[in-house]
Structure 1
Amino acid sequence: MTVIILTACPPGLRGHLTQWLLEISAGVYVGHISSRVRSRLWARVQDMAGPGRALMVFQIGGEQRLSFKVHDHHWTPVDLDGITLMRRPAEPVFNAAMPAGWSKAARRRRFGRRARPAQPTTESE
């Protein structure tokens, strides 16, 4: 079985893939195709994707029984002792001193509400 997932790709590519695979959701294509057709479809995806991203998962022989191919995707497949894992990019680390331009509300959302010192109250009688 082969699964191809497209993001922000031109409609022409989506139409071309529907000739060979079944579109089960927007941008998700599934089907049983030969390795020759799969390699030609992947070459076509890389040619026609333009600014879009593509991810393909397909069956192979081996312990894990599947493999991945990516095109302009942030997540990359990495072989780790014979098992293919997807490495996602590291998230940016924010320190307590937020960059200029961040509002107090954004700081509260990011770091949670901090206890404020008690304000002295003045009672007028």
Structure 2
Amino acid sequence: MPSMTVIAATAVPDHLRGALTRWLLEVTPELYIGSVSAKVREELWAAVSASTAAGTAVLAHPADNEQGFTLRTTGTQRREPLDFDGMTLIAFRRESQEAAKPF
């Protein structure tokens, strides 16, 4: 059964953006939404994961849990989803002290 799928993909190649728009609507730049089957969602996510060398992506879709959805990420991101007793929380990575110091 199709379910709502949301993918936010930043700095990904044009061919991946084209593949996503075959199945999902690009409602704003880099934000894709649609209702697809679990098989299509998994295939799209595999393509996104394989193509985000310099970019980042987040997938959100319904799940049978307390929050009603699950998150997956790929690429280097400052925000990282963590499982805390069955709930997804977002942890922020700190910038290293060396990167924060001006020269």
TM-score normalised by structure 2 residue count: 0.85
Within the candidate set 19, 31, 38, 1:16 is matched to: 19
Structure 1 position 77, deviation (Å) = 1.2
Report if aligned partners of 1:60, 1:66 keep a CA contact under 8 Å in 2. Answer: yes
Amino acid at match of 2:67: Q
1:17-72 deviation line (CA, Å, top 9, x unaligned): 00000000000000111111111110011112221111111111121101000001
Change over 3 Å in CA distance of 1:80–1:25 after alignment to 2 = same
Structure 1 position 100, deviation (Å) = 6.9
Question: CA RMSD for the aligned pairs?
Answer: 1.8
In 2, Cα distance between equivalents of 1:35 and 1:84: 20
Identity %: 38
In 2, Cα distance between equivalents of 1:9 and 1:49: 6
In 1, Cα distance between equivalents of 2:11 and 2:102: 32
In 2, Cα distance between equivalents of 1:86 and 1:33: 26
Q: When you count strand as a share of all residues, which structure comes out higher?
A: 2
Amino acid at match of 1:53: T
Alignment of 1:1-125 (within 5 A): 1-74=4-77, 75-91=79-95, 101=103
Residue-pair matches, total: 97
Is there any run of 5+ residues in structure 1 with no aligned partner, and where? 94-98, 102-125
Q: Which moved more, 1:47-56 or 1:10-19?
A: 47-56
Greater Rg, structure 1 or structure 2?
1
- After superposing on structure 2, the runs of 4+ consecutive aligned residues of structure 1 that deviate more than 3 Å are none
TM-score normalised by structure 1 residue count: 0.71
In 2, Cα distance between equivalents of 1:100 and 1:41: 41
